[in-house]
Amino acid sequence: MFIRNPKPWHNERSPVTPKRIYFNRRHFLKSVIGVGIGATSLSLAGCQTSESDRALQKTLNQPKISPLKTNPNFASVDRPITNEKLAGSYNNFYEFGGDKSIWLKAQELPTDNWKVEVTGLVKNPKTYDLDDIKKQFPIEERIYRFRCVEAWSMVLPWVGFPMKELIKAVEPTSKAKFVRFTSFYDETVMPGPTFSLGNLPWPYTEGLRIEEMANELAFFAIGIYGEELPKQHGAPIRAVLPWKYGFKGAKSIVKVEFLAQQPATYWHTRIPNEYGFIANVNPDVPHPRWSQATEKFIGTGPDLSWDIKPTQLYNGYQEYVAHLYS
Ligand SMILES: Nc1nc2c(c(=O)[nH]1)N[C@H]1C(S)=C(S)[C@@H](COP(=O)(O)O)O[C@H]1N2
Ligand SMILES: [Mo]
Protein backbone atom coordinates (compact mmCIF):
# COMPACT_ATOMS: atom_id res chain seq x y z
CA MET A 1 0.00 0.00 0.00
CA PHE A 2 2.98 2.31 0.23
CA ILE A 3 4.02 1.75 -3.36
CA ARG A 4 4.18 4.97 -5.32
CA ASN A 5 4.60 5.52 -8.99
CA PRO A 6 8.16 6.23 -10.04
CA LYS A 7 8.68 9.97 -10.16
CA PRO A 8 11.34 11.90 -12.06
CA TRP A 9 13.13 12.72 -8.80
CA HIS A 10 13.72 9.04 -8.27
CA ASN A 11 16.57 9.38 -10.70
CA GLU A 12 18.55 11.60 -8.37
CA ARG A 13 21.77 9.81 -7.54
CA SER A 14 21.72 9.82 -3.83
CA PRO A 15 21.53 7.48 -0.86
CA VAL A 16 18.62 9.56 -0.34
CA THR A 17 15.77 11.41 -1.79
CA PRO A 18 16.23 15.12 -2.31
CA LYS A 19 15.00 16.78 0.84
CA ARG A 20 12.37 19.00 -0.71
CA ILE A 21 10.58 15.81 -1.67
CA TYR A 22 10.84 13.64 1.36
CA PHE A 23 9.86 16.34 3.77
CA ASN A 24 6.61 16.58 1.86
CA ARG A 25 5.84 13.07 3.01
CA ARG A 26 4.39 14.16 6.31
CA HIS A 27 0.97 12.94 5.36
CA PHE A 28 2.33 9.51 4.63
CA LEU A 29 4.16 9.39 7.92
CA LYS A 30 1.14 10.65 9.75
CA SER A 31 -0.93 7.80 8.40
CA VAL A 32 1.59 5.25 9.55
CA ILE A 33 2.29 6.55 13.01
CA GLY A 34 -0.99 8.29 13.68
CA VAL A 35 -1.78 6.28 16.77
CA GLY A 36 1.54 6.71 18.54
CA ILE A 37 1.45 10.40 17.93
CA GLY A 38 -2.28 10.57 18.58
CA ALA A 39 -1.79 9.57 22.18
CA THR A 40 -0.33 12.97 22.88
CA SER A 41 -2.40 14.95 20.45
CA LEU A 42 -5.78 16.56 20.95
CA SER A 43 -6.63 16.46 17.30
CA LEU A 44 -5.88 12.77 16.95
CA ALA A 45 -6.85 11.60 20.43
CA GLY A 46 -8.99 8.51 20.34
CA CYS A 47 -8.49 7.99 16.66
CA GLN A 48 -8.84 4.59 15.06
CA THR A 49 -6.06 2.02 14.89
CA SER A 50 -5.29 1.34 11.28
CA GLU A 51 -4.17 -2.00 9.97
CA SER A 52 -0.80 -0.63 8.86
CA ASP A 53 -0.25 0.85 12.29
CA ARG A 54 -0.83 -2.53 13.90
CA ALA A 55 1.54 -4.16 11.40
CA LEU A 56 4.18 -1.56 12.16
CA GLN A 57 3.74 -2.01 15.91
CA LYS A 58 4.20 -5.75 15.46
CA THR A 59 7.56 -5.21 13.77
CA LEU A 60 8.61 -3.00 16.69
CA ASN A 61 7.60 -5.48 19.42
CA GLN A 62 10.91 -7.23 20.03
CA PRO A 63 12.29 -9.12 23.02
CA LYS A 64 13.27 -6.78 25.84
CA ILE A 65 16.95 -6.50 26.65
CA SER A 66 17.50 -6.94 30.35
CA PRO A 67 19.02 -5.95 32.58
CA LEU A 68 19.22 -2.61 30.81
CA LYS A 69 21.65 -0.07 32.19
CA THR A 70 21.93 3.39 30.68
CA ASN A 71 25.48 4.71 30.47
CA PRO A 72 25.34 7.88 32.65
CA ASN A 73 27.61 9.72 30.20
CA PHE A 74 25.05 9.20 27.45
CA ALA A 75 21.78 9.31 29.38
CA SER A 76 20.33 12.29 27.55
CA VAL A 77 21.04 14.98 24.97
CA ASP A 78 19.70 18.50 24.47
CA ARG A 79 16.51 17.31 22.74
CA PRO A 80 13.85 14.67 23.30
CA ILE A 81 14.07 11.07 22.12
CA THR A 82 12.32 10.55 18.79
CA ASN A 83 8.99 8.75 18.73
CA GLU A 84 9.62 5.01 18.31
CA LYS A 85 7.08 4.56 15.52
CA LEU A 86 8.48 7.45 13.56
CA ALA A 87 12.03 6.09 13.83
CA GLY A 88 10.76 2.62 12.88
CA SER A 89 8.88 3.78 9.78
CA TYR A 90 11.30 6.37 8.38
CA ASN A 91 14.40 4.40 7.47
CA ASN A 92 17.18 4.16 4.95
CA PHE A 93 17.90 0.55 3.99
CA TYR A 94 18.57 0.56 0.26
CA GLU A 95 18.71 -3.21 -0.01
CA PHE A 96 14.94 -3.13 0.52
CA GLY A 97 14.15 -0.05 -1.54
CA GLY A 98 15.10 3.52 -2.21
CA ASP A 99 12.56 5.33 -0.06
CA LYS A 100 11.92 5.74 3.64
CA SER A 101 9.01 3.29 3.89
CA ILE A 102 10.88 -0.04 3.75
CA TRP A 103 9.83 -1.23 7.21
CA LEU A 104 7.44 -3.89 5.91
CA LYS A 105 9.73 -5.17 3.15
CA ALA A 106 12.61 -5.34 5.63
CA GLN A 107 10.72 -8.06 7.52
CA GLU A 108 12.07 -10.45 4.82
CA LEU A 109 15.55 -10.13 6.31
CA PRO A 110 16.51 -13.61 7.59
CA THR A 111 18.09 -13.12 11.01
CA ASP A 112 18.00 -16.64 12.51
CA ASN A 113 21.35 -18.12 13.55
CA TRP A 114 23.13 -14.87 12.73
CA LYS A 115 26.92 -14.97 12.68
CA VAL A 116 29.42 -12.13 12.58
CA GLU A 117 32.83 -13.09 11.27
CA VAL A 118 35.67 -10.98 12.68
CA THR A 119 38.73 -11.48 10.56
CA GLY A 120 41.73 -9.94 8.81
CA LEU A 121 44.75 -8.47 10.60
CA VAL A 122 43.92 -9.68 14.11
CA LYS A 123 45.56 -12.04 16.59
CA ASN A 124 42.28 -13.71 17.59
CA PRO A 125 39.90 -14.03 14.64
CA LYS A 126 36.50 -15.24 15.77
CA THR A 127 33.01 -15.85 14.47
CA TYR A 128 30.44 -14.64 16.99
CA ASP A 129 26.80 -15.52 17.29
CA LEU A 130 24.37 -13.24 19.08
CA ASP A 131 24.60 -15.16 22.35
CA ASP A 132 28.40 -14.87 22.33
CA ILE A 133 28.04 -11.14 21.81
CA LYS A 134 25.53 -10.67 24.65
CA LYS A 135 27.66 -12.76 27.01
CA GLN A 136 31.05 -11.39 26.13
CA PHE A 137 30.47 -7.66 25.78
CA PRO A 138 29.11 -5.11 28.29
CA ILE A 139 25.64 -4.28 26.95
CA GLU A 140 24.34 -0.81 27.82
CA GLU A 141 21.97 1.88 26.62
CA ARG A 142 23.17 5.14 25.07
CA ILE A 143 21.04 8.06 23.91
CA TYR A 144 22.73 9.52 20.83
CA ARG A 145 21.95 12.26 18.37
CA PHE A 146 21.51 10.83 14.88
CA ARG A 147 22.20 12.95 11.79
CA CYS A 148 21.54 11.76 8.25
CA VAL A 149 23.50 13.29 5.38
CA GLU A 150 20.09 14.25 3.95
CA ALA A 151 19.91 16.96 6.65
CA TRP A 152 17.31 15.42 8.94
CA SER A 153 18.01 14.30 12.48
CA MET A 154 16.57 12.27 15.34
CA VAL A 155 17.59 11.23 18.86
CA LEU A 156 17.74 7.46 19.31
CA PRO A 157 18.18 5.25 22.39
CA TRP A 158 20.52 2.49 21.24
CA VAL A 159 21.46 -0.65 23.17
CA GLY A 160 24.79 -2.30 22.47
CA PHE A 161 28.48 -2.12 23.27
CA PRO A 162 31.46 0.06 22.40
CA MET A 163 33.48 -1.05 19.39
CA LYS A 164 36.65 -0.69 21.44
CA GLU A 165 35.55 -3.81 23.37
CA LEU A 166 35.70 -5.84 20.17
CA ILE A 167 39.15 -4.41 19.46
CA LYS A 168 40.28 -5.62 22.90
CA ALA A 169 38.90 -9.09 22.23
CA VAL A 170 40.36 -9.73 18.78
CA GLU A 171 43.58 -7.69 19.12
CA PRO A 172 44.32 -6.14 15.73
CA THR A 173 47.98 -6.37 14.74
CA SER A 174 50.10 -3.27 14.23
CA LYS A 175 49.47 -3.58 10.49
CA ALA A 176 45.72 -3.01 10.90
CA LYS A 177 44.92 0.62 10.04
CA PHE A 178 41.29 0.34 8.92
CA VAL A 179 38.16 -1.68 9.56
CA ARG A 180 35.45 -2.65 7.08
CA PHE A 181 31.88 -3.61 8.00
CA THR A 182 29.92 -5.71 5.52
CA SER A 183 26.13 -5.88 5.61
CA PHE A 184 24.14 -9.02 4.83
CA TYR A 185 23.13 -9.26 1.19
CA ASP A 186 20.82 -11.67 -0.59
CA GLU A 187 19.25 -10.40 -3.78
CA THR A 188 16.37 -12.87 -3.52
CA VAL A 189 14.94 -10.93 -0.55
CA MET A 190 16.55 -7.56 -1.24
CA PRO A 191 15.12 -5.98 -4.39
CA GLY A 192 16.96 -2.66 -4.03
CA PRO A 193 15.53 0.65 -5.23
CA THR A 194 12.82 0.47 -7.88
CA PHE A 195 14.37 3.47 -9.62
CA SER A 196 17.72 3.39 -11.34
CA LEU A 197 20.79 4.28 -9.31
CA GLY A 198 23.18 2.67 -11.77
CA ASN A 199 25.23 -0.36 -10.82
CA LEU A 200 25.19 -0.61 -7.08
CA PRO A 201 28.25 -2.13 -5.41
CA TRP A 202 26.45 -4.62 -3.16
CA PRO A 203 26.94 -5.76 -0.49
CA TYR A 204 26.71 -2.52 1.49
CA THR A 205 30.05 -1.87 3.13
CA GLU A 206 31.37 0.90 5.35
CA GLY A 207 34.58 1.53 7.20
CA LEU A 208 36.60 3.50 9.71
CA ARG A 209 40.18 4.22 10.59
CA ILE A 210 41.23 2.12 13.60
CA GLU A 211 41.61 5.20 15.84
CA GLU A 212 38.04 6.15 14.99
CA MET A 213 36.82 2.68 15.85
CA ALA A 214 38.73 2.75 19.15
CA ASN A 215 37.03 6.00 20.11
CA GLU A 216 34.61 6.01 23.06
CA LEU A 217 31.58 6.83 20.86
CA ALA A 218 31.85 4.12 18.19
CA PHE A 219 29.15 1.60 19.03
CA PHE A 220 27.68 -1.68 17.84
CA ALA A 221 23.93 -1.64 18.44
CA ILE A 222 21.97 -4.84 19.03
CA GLY A 223 18.88 -2.99 20.28
CA ILE A 224 16.88 0.22 20.32
CA TYR A 225 14.14 1.53 22.68
CA GLY A 226 15.15 -1.14 25.22
CA GLU A 227 14.43 -4.06 22.87
CA GLU A 228 16.30 -6.05 20.26
CA LEU A 229 16.67 -4.27 16.92
CA PRO A 230 13.67 -4.39 14.60
CA LYS A 231 14.71 -5.52 11.12
CA GLN A 232 14.19 -2.09 9.56
CA HIS A 233 16.85 -0.67 11.93
CA GLY A 234 19.44 -3.24 10.82
CA ALA A 235 18.85 -6.32 12.99
CA PRO A 236 20.51 -8.03 14.65
CA ILE A 237 23.65 -5.88 14.84
CA ARG A 238 24.62 -2.60 13.18
CA ALA A 239 27.13 0.20 13.56
CA VAL A 240 26.24 3.53 15.23
CA LEU A 241 28.69 6.43 14.81
CA PRO A 242 26.97 9.54 16.12
CA TRP A 243 29.57 12.10 15.02
CA LYS A 244 29.33 10.92 11.41
CA TYR A 245 26.55 10.99 8.86
CA GLY A 246 24.11 8.12 9.22
CA PHE A 247 25.24 6.26 6.10
CA LYS A 248 28.49 5.31 7.86
CA GLY A 249 26.48 3.09 10.23
CA ALA A 250 26.19 -0.17 8.29
CA LYS A 251 23.16 -2.29 9.16
CA SER A 252 22.83 -6.06 9.61
CA ILE A 253 26.57 -6.67 9.81
CA VAL A 254 27.92 -10.13 8.90
CA LYS A 255 31.63 -9.36 8.66
CA VAL A 256 34.14 -7.09 10.40
CA GLU A 257 37.58 -7.06 8.74
CA PHE A 258 40.75 -5.40 9.92
CA LEU A 259 42.78 -4.12 6.97
CA ALA A 260 46.01 -2.33 6.12
CA GLN A 261 44.45 -0.11 3.43
CA GLN A 262 41.37 2.07 3.31
CA PRO A 263 38.57 -0.15 2.01
CA ALA A 264 36.24 0.70 -0.83
CA THR A 265 32.86 1.53 0.70
CA TYR A 266 29.38 1.55 -0.76
CA TRP A 267 28.32 5.18 -1.23
CA HIS A 268 31.86 6.43 -1.65
CA THR A 269 32.35 3.94 -4.50
CA ARG A 270 29.02 4.77 -6.10
CA ILE A 271 29.20 8.59 -5.85
CA PRO A 272 32.67 9.60 -4.60
CA ASN A 273 32.24 13.36 -4.95
CA GLU A 274 29.14 13.36 -2.73
CA TYR A 275 29.92 10.80 -0.02
CA GLY A 276 33.38 10.79 1.50
CA PHE A 277 35.02 8.06 3.53
CA ILE A 278 35.37 10.20 6.66
CA ALA A 279 31.91 11.86 6.44
CA ASN A 280 31.96 13.68 9.77
CA VAL A 281 28.95 15.89 10.49
CA ASN A 282 30.08 19.43 9.61
CA PRO A 283 27.89 22.50 9.08
CA ASP A 284 30.62 24.19 7.01
CA VAL A 285 30.99 21.48 4.39
CA PRO A 286 27.90 21.48 2.17
CA HIS A 287 26.80 18.44 0.29
CA PRO A 288 27.25 19.26 -3.43
CA ARG A 289 23.46 19.46 -3.77
CA TRP A 290 22.38 21.01 -0.46
CA SER A 291 23.62 22.93 2.57
CA GLN A 292 24.53 21.16 5.80
CA ALA A 293 24.33 24.35 7.89
CA THR A 294 21.00 23.38 9.44
CA GLU A 295 19.03 20.19 9.98
CA LYS A 296 15.41 19.22 10.38
CA PHE A 297 14.93 17.61 13.79
CA ILE A 298 11.91 15.56 12.86
CA GLY A 299 9.00 14.23 14.83
CA THR A 300 8.88 17.09 17.32
CA GLY A 301 5.13 17.59 17.44
CA PRO A 302 1.82 15.80 17.18
CA ASP A 303 1.65 16.53 13.46
CA LEU A 304 5.21 15.33 12.82
CA SER A 305 6.46 18.80 12.31
CA TRP A 306 10.15 19.48 12.73
CA ASP A 307 12.40 22.08 14.30
CA ILE A 308 15.15 23.64 12.26
CA LYS A 309 18.35 23.38 14.30
CA PRO A 310 21.84 24.57 13.48
CA THR A 311 24.04 21.61 12.56
CA GLN A 312 26.76 21.08 15.15
CA LEU A 313 30.33 20.23 14.25
CA TYR A 314 30.80 16.48 14.82
CA ASN A 315 27.08 16.47 15.62
CA GLY A 316 27.90 17.98 19.01
CA TYR A 317 30.45 15.33 19.97
CA GLN A 318 33.59 17.51 19.60
CA GLU A 319 34.93 16.66 23.04
CA TYR A 320 35.16 12.98 22.09
CA VAL A 321 36.42 13.12 18.54
CA ALA A 322 37.93 16.49 17.57
CA HIS A 323 41.43 15.27 18.46
CA LEU A 324 41.17 12.55 15.83
CA TYR A 325 41.07 15.15 13.06
CA SER A 326 43.43 17.90 14.26
N1 LIG B 1 23.14 -1.97 4.94
C2 LIG B 1 22.74 -0.70 4.98
N3 LIG B 1 23.07 0.08 6.03
C4 LIG B 1 22.66 1.36 6.09
C5 LIG B 1 21.91 1.95 5.03
C6 LIG B 1 21.58 1.11 3.93
O7 LIG B 1 20.91 1.54 2.96
N8 LIG B 1 21.99 -0.20 3.94
N9 LIG B 1 21.54 3.28 5.10
C10 LIG B 1 22.32 4.16 5.98
C11 LIG B 1 21.72 5.47 6.16
S12 LIG B 1 21.84 6.56 4.85
C13 LIG B 1 21.14 5.85 7.34
S14 LIG B 1 20.59 7.45 7.59
C15 LIG B 1 20.95 4.88 8.44
C16 LIG B 1 19.48 4.80 8.84
O17 LIG B 1 19.30 4.03 10.00
P18 LIG B 1 17.84 3.83 10.61
O19 LIG B 1 16.93 3.49 9.47
O20 LIG B 1 17.96 2.75 11.61
O21 LIG B 1 17.45 5.15 11.23
O22 LIG B 1 21.38 3.56 8.10
C23 LIG B 1 22.58 3.49 7.33
N24 LIG B 1 22.98 2.11 7.19
MO1 LIG C 1 21.46 8.66 5.82
pLDDT digits (tens, 9 = 90+) for 91-139: 999 999 999 999 999 999 999 999 999 999 999 999 999 999 999 999 9
Residue 36 — pLDDT band, cuts 50, 70, 90? very low
Instruction: Tell me if 150 CB under 6 Å of ligand 1.
Output: no
Identify the residue whose C-alpha is closest to ligand 1 atom 14.
246
Residue 199 — pLDDT band, cuts 50, 70, 90? confident
Q: Domains along the chain?
A: 25-325 (3.90.420.10)
Q: Which sign does the torsion angle of CA 87, 246, 216, 185 carry?
A: positive
Dihedral of the CA atoms 255, 260, 265, 268 (nearest 10)?
Answer: 160
pLDDT for 42: 29
What is the distance between the alpha carbons of residues 26 and 23, in angstroms, rounded to a whole number?
Answer: 6
Are 203 and 148 spatial neighbours (Cβ–Cβ below 8 Å)? Answer: no
pLDDT for 197: 79
| Centroid of ligand 2 to alpha carbon of 46 (angstroms) | 34
Q: Which ligand is nearest to the CA of 154?
A: 1
**Residues 249-274, mean pLDDT to the nearest whole number:** 97
**C-alpha closest to that of 34 among 79, 89, 97, 81:** 89
Are 110 and 252 spatial neighbours (Cβ–Cβ below 8 Å)? Answer: no
**Residues 141-158, mean pLDDT to the nearest whole number:** 98
What is the distance between the alpha carbons of residues 44 and 23, in angstroms, rounded to a whole number?
Answer: 21
| Centroid of ligand 1 to alpha carbon of 34 (angstroms) | 24
pLDDT for 304: 66
| Centroid of ligand 2 to alpha carbon of 108 (angstroms) | 21
pLDDT for 120: 98
Instruction: Tell me if 251 CB under 6 Å of ligand 1.
Output: yes
Ligand 1 atom at minimum distance from 156 CA: 21
Give 14 or 39, the one with higher predicted confidence.
14
Identify the residue whose C-alpha is closest to ligand 1 atom 12.
247
Residue 302 — pLDDT band, cuts 50, 70, 90? low
Q: Which sign does the torsion angle of CA 209, 252, 116, 166 carry?
A: positive
